[in-house]
Amino acid sequence: MLPDEREALAYELASESFELYVPGTLEPGAAAAGLIWVSAGGDGAPPRAWAAVLDRLHVTWIGANGSGNRRSPADRVNLALDASAHLRGLLGDHPDLYVGGFSGGARIASEAALLYPDVFSGGLFVGAADYFRFVRSSDPRWSAWEPTFPPPSRALLQLPRTRGRYLLFSGDRDSNRTLVRDVHRAMLEDGIAAAEYLEIPDLGHEMPSAPLFERALVRLLSGVD
């Protein structure tokens, strides 16, 4: 699916709402980064404890309300694209825009990031990830993970290989750890070299604490752990 082949919207944008957080530390003309968050639930706002992290790293946040796991994947991807357009207008020319999410939100974020690498600079996939081709499973219970979205065009796939940054994040007690690790391996196999995997000891399938979120976001933005 190419960007000009988006499915017809199943919603009126005027009836949707978004949660926007602009860090108080953001200065006019400063280098800007934005994080478009796909929630697994219904609230697009950042967890309260994450706001200080966004302030320190000068990252503007936007998330659609009502874009949780019960919403259609097409709607959720399109809402992330709508949110990115708003941030691009807010942050000025050529901001670095990343799309992220946790669990079911991470699945949609990975789809959006890889189908629209001309829109998103990369992605933060916490506790899950999907991919556009069959991925060999390292879990002996099944042979492969099935693709959940069509592959990007050959031209678009060059963008994640050459300029995208992706951080896949899981815990060693996360029920989705094998999936996340296998998708990360597939990205490297496909030449997406700036895809990193971060595994946290004693972490289950849960939203990360503010320090862990900051660690992941710093690594995504700069490649420094």
Residue 4 is predicted with a pLDDT of 39
Q: How far is CA 158 from the centre of its chain?
A: 18
Identify the band that residue 224 occupies on the pLDDT scale cut at 50, 70 and 90.
low
Number of domains in the chain: 1
Task: Give tens-digit pLDDT for 61-115.
Answer: 999 999 999 999 999 999 999 999 999 988 887 789 999 999 999 999 999 999 9
Q: Which whole number is the average pLDDT over 184-207?
A: 97
Residue 223 is predicted with a pLDDT of 66
Task: Choose between 141 and 168: higher pLDDT.
Answer: 168
Residue 29 is predicted with a pLDDT of 55
CB 39 within 8 A of CB 63: yes
Task: Give tens-digit pLDDT for 127-150.
Answer: 999 999 999 999 988 899 999 999
Query: Is the alpha carbon torsion for 38, 39, 44, 48 positive or negative?
Result: negative
Cα–Cα distance measured from residue 29 to residue 49, given in angstroms and rounded to the nearest whole number: 27
In this model, does residue 211 exceed pLDDT 70? yes
**Burial state string for 39-72 with b = 16 or more CB within 10 A and e = fewer than 16:** bbeebbbbeeebbebbeebbbbbbbbbbbbbebe
The H or E element spanning position 41 is none
Residue 31 is predicted with a pLDDT of 59
Residue 85 is predicted with a pLDDT of 94
Residue 225 is predicted with a pLDDT of 46
Which letter does DSSP use for residue 139 in this model? S
Q: Which whole number is the average pLDDT over 190-196?
A: 97
Residue 6 is predicted with a pLDDT of 45
In this model, does residue 182 exceed pLDDT 50? yes
Identify the band that residue 2 occupies on the pLDDT scale cut at 50, 70 and 90.
very low
CB 75 within 8 A of CB 11: yes
Share of the chain above pLDDT 90, in %: 83
Helices 104-115 and 154-162, axial angle in degrees (round to 10): 110
CATH number at residue 106: 3.40.50.1820
**What DSSP line would sit under 65-81, residue for residue?**
TT-STTS-HHHHHHHHH
Q: Domain range holding 147?
A: 3-222
In this model, does residue 3 exceed pLDDT 80? no
